[in-house]
Amino acid sequence: MHNSAFPDAPQPLNGPMTQSSTPTIRLIPKANARALRRGFPWVFANELVTDRRTRALEPGTIARLEDAERRFLGIVAVNPNSRIIGRMLDRDEEAVIDKNWFAARIAHALQLRERLFDAPFYRLIHAESDGLPGVIVDRFGDTCVVQPNAAYADVLMDDLAAALAEVTGVKNILKNAGGRGRTLEGLDDEDKVLLGAAPDAPVPVQMNGATYMADLTGGQKTGLFYDQRPNHAFTARLADGAKVLDVFSHVGGFALAALAGGAVSALSVDGSAPALELAQQGAAAMGAADRFETRQGDAFDVLAALGEENAIFDVVVCDPPAFAPNKPALEAGLRAYERVARLSAPLVEKGGYLVLCSCSHAADLNAFQGACLRGIGRSGRWAQLVHTGFAGPDHPLMPQLAESGYLKALVFRLQ
C-alpha cells in the first residue's frame, strides 16, 4: 500500500478492515469539496449526508469520503457525535489505517524534531499539522504523553501506542484525557498508563538555560507548555539586569527563562499553588531560588493589587489561558485581553517591556493586537510593538487550518 504524503516511511500492512468493508460517507451538494481537495482537514456535520446508516456508525469508524458526485476525496475518521463529523486521515484510496500507518506519520514528525532539538523534549505530534488529526503527543525524554482528542485515536490506541514506542524507543507512554477536545468529541476523561510506568516525580526539562519541573500526571495539559519556547528566549534577552513579573506563570514559564537570562529578580503569579511549587523547584534546580518569588492568587486581583502598591518592573509578561476558545466567546475574550493590558501596563517602568500572549485561536492576530493596544492606551501609556512571536517549530502550522496557528506573543516597549 502506498502513502504518497510520506513516501520514505514504512508502508501499511493489511489491517482488519479491507477496502470492500469500509463504509462510504458522502457530502451534500452544497458542501465545500474544493476546500477539502485543497487540504482542509475537517468535514462538519452540516456538510454530510447524515442518513440513518451514517448516524449509526460507531465513533472512530474509518470511512471513505466522496463528494456529491461520488468522487473519492479521502479516507476519514468519523464521529457522528461530534460537530467535526469527519477528519481527513489519508488521500490515498488504498491506505489502511493501522500500526504501520501510524508509524509512518510518527517517523515523519520525529525526523523534523530530531533535526531541530538536541534533546528529546518537545511536542512530537501536533495534531492535523503532523497528519494525525486530533492527536497531541509531547515527549519528555523516555516518556511520551498522548492526548487523543479524536474518537478514532481512542479506538486505535493500541496501534498508536505500539507505533509510538517502535519509532521513538520511549519506555513509557501515558494517556492524558483532560483535553477540552475530548469533551467535544464525547470521549471519556480517564487517564491511563499505556506502556511502562508513570514517573513518580516531576521530570526536569531544560529549555533556554532554565530548568522546568513537569508534572506529567497531575499538571496542566501534558505537564509543560513547549509552544512558548522561542518567546521565552526572546523575552530572556530583554531581562538581563531586569526586575521581571510573570503573570499566569504556570510552572515558571517566562520567569525562569528570564532568570537564566540574567534577571535580578522574578515574581511568578498564578492561581495554582501546585504550579507555583513546581516553579520554585525549578528555580532551586537552576540555582536561582534567591532571585525568585511567587504570589498565588487570581491574576486580575494580583495585577490590581500590585498597581495599588505602586510596584514597578522592567519586564512584565502576561500569558493567560484561552479567553476566546471559540467564536461565541470572542467578544468576551477580547475584553479580557484588553483588561489584562490595562492592568499590566502601569506596572512597566518607562522604557520597559510588556509581553502579552494569547493562545485563543478564535482571536486572530489583528483582533488580539487591537485589544492589547486599547488596554495599553486606556492605561495612559504609549507603546512600540518591537516583536511578534508565535509557537515554536515543533508546533507546525497547517496553512489550511487557522486553528493550528493559535499562539501569539506581542512584545511592546512602553513610554
- Residue 17 in this model has a pLDDT that exceeds 80: no
- Residue 3 in this model has a pLDDT that exceeds 80: no
| pLDDT score, position 364 | 94
Nearest in space to 390 (alpha carbons), one of 239, 251, 227: 227
- Residue 14 in this model has a pLDDT that exceeds 80: no
- Residue 226 in this model has a pLDDT that exceeds 70: yes
The 10s digit of each residue's pLDDT in 317-336 is: 999 999 998 899 999 999 99
User: What DSSP string describes 26-75?
Assistant: EB-TTS-HHHHHTT--EEEGGGB---HHHHTSPTTEEEEEE-TT--EEEE
Radius of gyration of the chain (CA): 23
- Mean per-residue pLDDT for 361-378? 96
User: What DSSP string describes 327-346?
Assistant: GGGHHHHHHHHHHHHHHHGG
Q: Is 354 exposed, middle or buried (0-12, 13-18, 19+ CB in 10 A)?
A: buried
What is the pTM for the complete model shown? 0.92
Which residue reads 496557528 in cell numbers? 405
Where do the domains of the chain lie, and which CATH numbers do they carry? 19-90 (2.30.130.10), 99-195 (3.30.750.80), 204-414 (3.40.50.150)
Buried b (16+ CB within 10 A) or exposed e, 140-149: beebbbbbbb
Neighbours of 78 (CB within 10 A): 25
- Residue 12 in this model has a pLDDT that exceeds 80: no
Question: Residue 8: which pLDDT band, with cuts at 50, 70 and 90?
Answer: very low
| pLDDT score, position 348 | 98
- Mean per-residue pLDDT for 29-56? 94
The reply to whether 359 belongs to the active site is: yes
| pLDDT score, position 219 | 77
- Mean per-residue pLDDT for 109-132? 98
Q: Could you give the angle at which helices 99-116 and 157-168 cross, rounded to 10 degrees?
A: 40
CA angle 299, 303, 304 (to 5 degrees): 120
Long-range (24+ apart) CB contacts under 8 A made by 392-395 are: 392/123, 392/226, 392/227, 392/228, 392/229, 392/230, 393/112, 393/116, 394/112, 394/113, 394/116, 394/117, 394/122, 394/123, 394/124, 394/126, 394/226, 394/229, 395/123, 395/126, 395/129, 395/226, 395/227
Active-site residue among 144, 318, 357, 359?
359
- Mean per-residue pLDDT for 249-263? 97
Question: Residue 401: which pLDDT band, with cuts at 50, 70 and 90?
Answer: very high
- Mean per-residue pLDDT for 268-287? 97
| Percentage of residues of the chain with pLDDT beyond 70 | 95
What's the mean per-residue pLDDT of the chain?
93
Question: Residue 210: which pLDDT band, with cuts at 50, 70 and 90?
Answer: very high
- Residue 19 in this model has a pLDDT that exceeds 60: no
